[in-house]
Amino acid sequence: MSFFKKLKEKFVGAKTENVTPESTEQLEANEQLELNEQVALNEQPEVKAEIEKKKEQISIGEKFKQGLAKTRNAFSSRVNDLVARYRKVDEEFFEELEEILIQADVGFDTVMELVDELKMEVKRRNISDTKEVQDVISEKLVDIYQGGDEEQSELNIEKDGLTVILFVGVNGVGKTTTIGKMAHKFKEEGKSVVLAAGDTFRAGAIDQLEVWGERVGVDVIKQGEGSDPAAVMFDAIQAAKARGADILICDTAGRLQNKVNLMKELEKVKRVIEREVPGAPHEVLLVLDATTGQNALIQAKTFKEATNVSGIVLTKLDGTAKGGIVLAIRNELAIPVKFVGLGEKMDDLQEFDAEKYVYGLFADLIEKAE
């Protein structure tokens, strides 16, 4: 089975618009069959759960398709044009493919690795038709991202006790909005959430977090503007413990003008958290704006030097045609992208999945796969 077919089975629902019953009797027979299937499902909860899971996969796949529309329109259309112009897979074909990938912000090192992998795979499978390369590209994008680890996008959540998640990132990347959306996600899962307003230096940051707290229905622990962020974290941990909260999400200042001060501040915050909750923070999530392209990669390198970043949240992926930055971050910094922002809605913050990402890039071709 081709990789396109595999993704189609996973993320594409059954198409019924072209099904035309030959008679009223046939339509009634179909309806009766559906009714019988529904009765069977009610008697087999495990089958019903599997179908619900499939529906959820299709729904999330559709979110990735919509969220990556700009990148897909730019990237896939150029790949399609490349395939149409070349009858055989040769060195010139790969050179043009390199250019397309670099312009999608996949990153030079990642592009070189990907193209080398493609060349070997094309040779191994004895592929000569350029159309077959599209399927191999999608497969190799997933392989390069996962690097043998399919579970790296999952958050480290404590089963018993308080989970502390520390958010870092420069101002303007959507950090506070992401915190609000993640709080909503946890609330929907039935978890108790508390927010810590640790960005005490940016005017309005505390108020902005409070607005999100009210919107989502969670408590926000704060002090006055200009106060010590570490003191806010201490208060927030005590409050979270007293209220029996499952998740504490902590905001931090996003100043990068002086990296030394940033490092000292984050180290102090982390010391307080670790002292009060041994083993915490359980996640340090760096928020990056996908629309900034390679600049996001530079920010990631800076924060990686300043603190032990465990994962990336890539916002505004729906607003850029250069969604290849996902691969550059993962491959060049060895930091997994754990969440992506695919729109403005509350549930448009989605857990990252390499296969869903590739489906979003090649959705039009995958849906036509036979």
Q: Confirm whether residue 85 is marked as ligand binding.
A: no
Is residue 317 part of an annotated ligand binding site?
yes
User: Can you read off the two tokens belonging to residue 191?
Assistant: 């978890």
User: Is 253 labelled as part of a ligand binding site?
Assistant: yes
Annotation-wise, does 171 bind a ligand? yes
At a CB cut-off of 8 Å and minimum separation 6, what does 212 contact? 176, 177, 179, 180, 183, 195, 220
Q: Alpha carbon 95 to chain centroid distance?
A: 29
* Distance in angstroms (rounded) separating the CA atoms of residues 303 and 256: 9
What residues contact residue 223 under an 8 Å CB cut-off, 6+ apart?
Answer: 197, 200, 231, 232, 235
Residue 315 assigned ligand-binding role:
yes
Cα separation, 107 vs 68, in Å, equals 18
DSSP state, 351?
A: E
Angle in degrees, CA 188, 189, 192, rounded to 5: 85
To the question of whether residue 219 is assigned a binding role by annotation, the answer is: no
d(C-alpha 166, C-alpha 266), whole Å: 10
Give, as one character, the DSSP assignment of residue 13: P
36 is in an annotated binding site: no
Tell me whether the omega of the peptide bond preceding residue 21 falls within 30 degrees of 0, making it cis.
no
* Whole-number Å distance between alpha carbons of 260 and 295: 20
- Asked whether residue 170 is marked as a ligand-binding residue, the answer is yes
Report the length, in residues, of the chain: 370
Tally of CA atoms within 13 A in the half-sphere of 68 that contains its CB: 29
CA–CA dist 154, 368 (Å, integer):
31
Residue 252 labelled as part of a binding site: yes
Is 175 assigned a ligand-binding role in the annotation?
A: yes
Annotated binding site for GTP: 169-176, 251-255, 315-318
Annotated binding site: 169-176, 251-255, 315-318
